Amino acid sequence: MFTDILFYSVFLGQIFLLSYHYPKKIFTKITYVLNTYPASKYPKLYRHSQYIDPENKLRKTARRYKYANSAIALLGLGILLAMAISGYAPHTIKENQHLLFVVFYFLLQSFPHLLVEVSTYSWYKCMRYAAKTSTRTADLRPRRLFDFISPVYVLFAVLAYIGWVSFYLYNKGFSAAWDSQTYMTMFGMAAMNLVFFSLGYKSFLGKKMDPHQADEDQHKQITTTIRVSVFASILMSLQLITFNAINKFGWDIFEPVAISLYCQLIIVFGIGEMLRRLKIEDVDFSVYKDETVAPV
């Protein structure tokens, strides 16, 4: 019974966080920008090579994002309600079918966020294209990794990774550990960490996404991206350690709860971290004003 209540509560939390709380914050953020910094006063923010009326396009996209999340939230609540009405008790189901609910529902919940990320990337790309000027500036101060993140977090990420490798091999038995599954797992984990490293590295030393962005805002963005990448690596290692422990000790009943909690933590330390650190009120929007237009 306890595990059933736990599962329903955690799944409800997943619906609330991923399809209501954070989407609402993101939608408010977009609306705030559109209302406070309109294209008439901040043309560089909307100067876009692809659309005739980019401001309107952005409003439509934001509305679609809101509706998509609302529909997904309703679907989630519908699933929960159907489970409750039909008397679905997760602790009595051996095959952990509800595990699939959690995973697939998380993938569905991630879809609008993924679309927003892709749109943002494409938006910046067009912005860079439209903002081609002959003069370019750069800071003569070097950027160093530990100016953006505490070494403690990086060390913790390395230790978590070593911890997972050790625990995984210990569970498999060190002497007979090296089969194809072990290689695949090790390779997968290394590849994921490489992705996180590339994300951090690209933001740290790569080209500026937003060509007009103020230095201070760029610093904040790099800090956030690096922190999110390191947190994601730590979470991934801890999650795998948790699942190895669940399998080893036969706590399969808690697996869906653990997966749902992991999904929520990814969002809290991913989107949540970005929303906490990159406060829209602190962003310098004066860089998007058109200096060629004389003030009236």
| Interacting residue ranges for other proteins, rule: CB under 8 A | 134-143, 205-208
Closer to other proteins by CB, 35 or 133: give it. Answer: 133
Closer to other proteins by CB, 134 or 175: give it. Answer: 134
What are the φ and ψ backbone dihedral angles of 136, each rounded to 5 degrees?
-135, 140
A 10 A CB-CB count for 157 gives: 23
d(CA 265, CA 272): 9
What are the φ and ψ backbone dihedral angles of 273, each rounded to 5 degrees?
-60, -40
* Residue 216 beta carbon to other proteins: minimum distance, rounded to whole angstroms: 13
Give me 160's structure tokens. Answer: 């978590």
* Residue 249 beta carbon to other proteins: minimum distance, rounded to whole angstroms: 45
* Residue 133 beta carbon to other proteins: minimum distance, rounded to whole angstroms: 9
* Residue 222 beta carbon to other proteins: minimum distance, rounded to whole angstroms: 11
Q: Give the H or E element holding residue 234.
A: helix 215-249
Closer to other proteins by CB, 125 or 279: give it. Answer: 125
* Residue 143 beta carbon to other proteins: minimum distance, rounded to whole angstroms: 6
* Residue 136 beta carbon to other proteins: minimum distance, rounded to whole angstroms: 5
Residue 121 near residue 279 (C-beta atoms within 8 A): no
* Residue 207 beta carbon to other proteins: minimum distance, rounded to whole angstroms: 5
269 CB-near residues (< 8 Å, 6+ apart)? 228, 231, 232, 235
Closer to other proteins by CB, 38 or 206: give it. Answer: 206
Q: How far is CA 82 from CA 58, 70, 103, 183, in A?
A: 36, 18, 18, 41
Closer to other proteins by CB, 35 or 137: give it. Answer: 137
Range 96-102, long-range pairs (CB < 8 A, 24+ positions): 96/252, 96/255, 96/256, 98/7, 98/256, 99/255, 99/256, 99/259, 101/11, 101/256, 102/11, 102/14, 102/256, 102/259, 102/260, 102/263
